[in-house]
Amino acid sequence: MRILVTGVRGQLGHDVAEELKTRGHETIGVDIEEMDITDEAAVWQTVRQVRPDAVIHCAAWTAVDAAEEEANAEKIMRINRDGTAYLAAACRKIACRMMYISTDYVFDGTGETPWEPDCRAYAPLNLYGKSKLAGEEAVSSLLEKFFIVRIAWVFGKNGNNFIKTMLRLAETHDSLRVVNDQIGTPTYTRDLSRLLADMIETEKYGYYHATNEGGYISWADFAAEIFRQAGKATKVIPVTTAEYGLSKAARPYNSRLDKSKLSSAGFRLLPDWRDALHRYLQELKNG
């Protein structure tokens, strides 16, 4: 297949492109330098020239707190809503399938029941969630051949993430306060990329949720396991979101995602997050 990957220099886009290449797919990776997704003409020109069989749309504004700043409000909607709509419209013109990477932030994060992929009780708490939901709506309204895959707590080699932050802070702190009332499951981009490649090779379209396996944990639990595996003596002090404060954007307490639809569709689930963390730490060590 000929596959166009957006956001190829990001955490996920990089690994998706590498996975596709190992499978022998003709992979064309673009980032803002090659295709500014907020430029409708540029999007159409790129898609028309590449004429992909499928597009995996990883490019997005993901700085959740920065999105709440008034100066950035219009920009995040241009990227996550309008850019996605331009790409979906281009896919429609050439009749190619599209995969859109979304987030648990489209829900309000209440309760303790895992969110099901076909749940339509959307109620994003912040502008990032609203912009990603707008992107979902653009894809589903313009296309029939689409995958919308919601993920959470992502970590990969490229870019910043929670693990890198914890390891950096551990160098200068004997203890760290980490929230214990936001619950979810981490997602390793290498494992996710394998799943996304599996999915794009099929026509099992629809909404899906994807994270690593291993159960639901808090950020404090995650931090403690990071330090344990990394051999750090830093102590984790669990605190509530209210006690922690600082964040400009409201965060969901319940980021539990139901992934049973992956199994019912015949897709192989991701490995345990603890195993993923071990492999990721090795990846960081090896450079």
Would you please indicate which residues are annotated as catalytic (active-site) residues? 128
> Per the structure block, which two tokens stand in for 184?
């979810």
**Sign of the dihedral through C-alpha 45, 51, 55, 58:** negative
The amino acid sitting at 5 is: V
Is residue 98 within 8 A of residue 146, CB to CB? The reply is yes
Is residue 186 within 8 A of residue 153, CB to CB? The reply is yes
Which residues touch 269 (CB under 8 Å, ≥6 apart)? 213, 259, 262, 263
| Max CA separation in the chain (angstroms) | 56
Residues 210, 212, 87: CA angle, nearest 5 degrees: 30
> Per the structure block, which two tokens stand in for 23?
């499978």
**How far from 266 is each of 56, 182, 191, 261, 263, CA to CA, in Å?**
20, 30, 16, 9, 5
Between CA 15 and CA 28 the distance in angstroms is: 13
Radius of gyration of the chain (CA): 18
